[in-house]
C-alpha cells in the first residue's frame, strides 16, 4: 500500500513521541528470571545467592509474598559478568535449587521476540498503535499474522509486510471459523495472541486453548454500559471517568485476570465524540502497557488473578 506525499497517516511518522511510563525499561543485555513457589524462608536468598555464584549482576529485583494464598513471586533482571554464559547451563544448574522450594521458574534471554498473532475486527486504533510500536522496536514482538473477521484492515497489515487472514464468521460458522483461526495460530507458532478490538466472543473451548497467552482490551465505563454506542450511553448519564482494561481472556466475557487498567477524568464539556476519542487513546496505551508487562515476564497468574511485578 502506498501513500501520496503529505498524506502519510500519523501513526507512520517516525518521530511520534513516546511518553514516560509508555516505554520498556529492559536493556539489551539483560536476562530475566521469573519464578513462583510456596511461601517459605529463603525464597529470595535461593535466587540472589545463585545469581551471585554465577557472577550475574542484578539490575532489577522485584518480589511479592501473598499472605492470603501463601504464594511467593519473584522476578530478577540480571547481566552476566563472565564470558561464555549459557542459558541452558544456567537453567540446569538452578533447577535442583529451585526444586528444594517447589519453585517454578522461567528464564528469558536478551533480545527475545515473542511470536504473536493479532486478532482484529474493523476498529483500527489499537492495531495502528501496536504496529507502530512494533515497527520502532518498542515492543519486542515477532508479529506473524493479523487475523480478522472483516477485510477492512488488510491494506494496513500489507503496508507493514504482514500476512493478513480474512476469516469471516456467522453464528452458524463459528466452530469452523475458530478452527481456522486456531490452525493459523498453531502454524505460525505464536506464543501470544492479542485481541486488538476483536469484536467476537470466543467459545469456551477457544478460551481454554489460549488461557494465559491471549490478551484482550475493552473500555471500562462506570456505571457499566453494554451494547451499541457505550460512550453515547455514558454521555447521557454524565459519566465523569472513562477508561480501559487489558486482561487475559477466560470464559467470562471481559472478566478475565486483569493485567493493566487506564482511566482519565471527563466532564460535561466532553461530547460523545470526545469520549470516543479519549477512550481510543486509553485503550491503545493500556493494551500496549499490558503487552509490555507480559513480554517482560512481569505478570504471574495465580488463583484466577494476576500479580504484576515492577509495573
The DSSP-derived string for 196-255 is SS--SPPPHHHHHHTTTSEEEEEEEESS---SS-HHHHHHHTT--EEEEEEEE--SSTT-
Is residue 254 flagged as an active site residue? yes
Report CA-CA distances (Å) from 264 to 125, 135, 280, 285, 307.
Answer: 18, 27, 12, 12, 23
pLDDT tens digits along 240-298? 999 999 999 998 777 899 999 999 999 999 999 999 999 999 999 999 999 999 999 99
pLDDT of 43 over the 70 cut = yes
| Cα separation, 189 vs 117, whole angstroms | 9
CATH number of the 31-108 domain: 3.30.70.260
Q: How confident is the model at residue 224 (pLDDT cuts 50, 70, 90)?
A: confident
Q: Which of 303, 244, 309 is nearest to 276 (CA)?
A: 244
Q: Judge contact between 228 and 254, C-beta under 8 A.
A: no
- What is the three-state SS of 3-31? CCCCCCCHHHCCCCCCCCCCCCCCCCCCE
Q: Which of 226, 218, 304, 236 is nearest to 272 (CA)?
A: 236
Indicate the domain borders of the chain: 31-108, 114-308
Do the domains at 31-108 and 114-308 have one common CATH topology?
A: no
pTM for the whole structure: 0.89
pLDDT tens digits along 56-99? 999 999 999 999 999 999 999 999 999 989 999 999 999 999 99
Q: How confident is the model at residue 188 (pLDDT cuts 50, 70, 90)?
A: very high
For the chain, give the mean pLDDT. Answer: 90
Catalytic residue from among 152, 254, 274, 281: 254
Task: Give the CATH fold of the 114-308 domain.
Answer: Rossmann fold (3.40.50)
Amino acid at each position: 500500500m502506498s501513500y501520496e506525499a503529505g498524506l502519510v497517516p500519523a501513526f507512520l511518522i517516525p518521530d511520534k513521541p513516546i511518553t514516560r511510563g509508555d516505554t520498556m525499561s529492559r536493556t539489551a543485555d539483560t536476562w530475566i528470571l521469573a519464578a513462583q513457589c510456596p511461601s517459605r524462608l529463603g525464597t529470595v536468598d535461593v535466587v540472589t545467592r545463585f545469581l551471585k555464584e554465577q557472577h550475574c549482576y542484578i539490575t532489577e529485583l522485584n518480589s511479592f509474598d501473598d499472605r492470603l494464598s501463601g504464594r511467593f513471586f519473584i522476578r530478577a533482571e540480571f547481566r552476566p559478568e563472565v564470558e561464555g554464559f549459557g542459558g541452558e547451563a544456567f537453567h540446569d544448574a538452578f533447577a535442583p535449587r529451585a526444586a528444594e522450594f517447589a519453585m517454578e521458574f522461567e528464564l528469558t534471554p536478551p533480545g527475545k521476540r515473542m511470536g504473536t498473532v493479532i486478532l482484529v475486527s474493523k476498529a483500527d486504533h489499537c492495531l495502528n498503535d501496536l504496529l507502530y510500536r512494533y515497527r520502532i522496536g518498542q515492543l519486542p514482538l515477532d508479529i506473524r499474522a493479523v487475523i480478522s473477521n472483516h477485510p477492512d484492515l488488510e491494506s494496513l497489515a500489507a503496508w507493514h509486510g504482514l500476512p493478513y487472514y480474512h476469516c469471516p464468521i456467522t453464528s452458524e460458522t463459528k466452530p469452523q471459523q475458530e478452527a481456522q483461526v486456531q490452525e493459523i495460530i498453531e502454524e505460525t507458532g505464536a506464543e501470544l495472541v492479542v485481541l486488538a478490538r476483536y469484536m467476537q466472543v470466543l467459545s469456551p473451548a477457544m478460551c481454554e486453548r489460549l488461557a494465559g497467552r491471549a490478551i484482550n482490551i475493552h473500555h471500562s465505563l462506570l456505571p457499566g454500559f453494554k451494547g451499541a454506542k457505550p460512550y453515547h450511553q455514558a454521555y447521557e448519564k454524565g459519566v465523569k471517568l472513562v477508561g480501559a482494561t487489558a486482561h487475559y481472556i477466560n470464559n467470562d466475557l471481559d472478566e478475565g485476570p486483569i493485567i493493566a487498567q487506564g482511566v482519565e477524568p471527563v466532564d460535561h464539556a466532553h461530547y460523545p465524540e470526545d469520549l470516543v476519542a479519549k477512550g481510543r487513546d486509553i485503550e491503545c496505551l493500556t493494551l500496549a502497557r499490558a503487552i509490555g508487562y507480559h513480554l517482560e515476564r512481569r505478570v504471574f497468574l495465580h488463583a484466577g488473578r494476576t500479580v504484576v511485578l515492577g509495573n
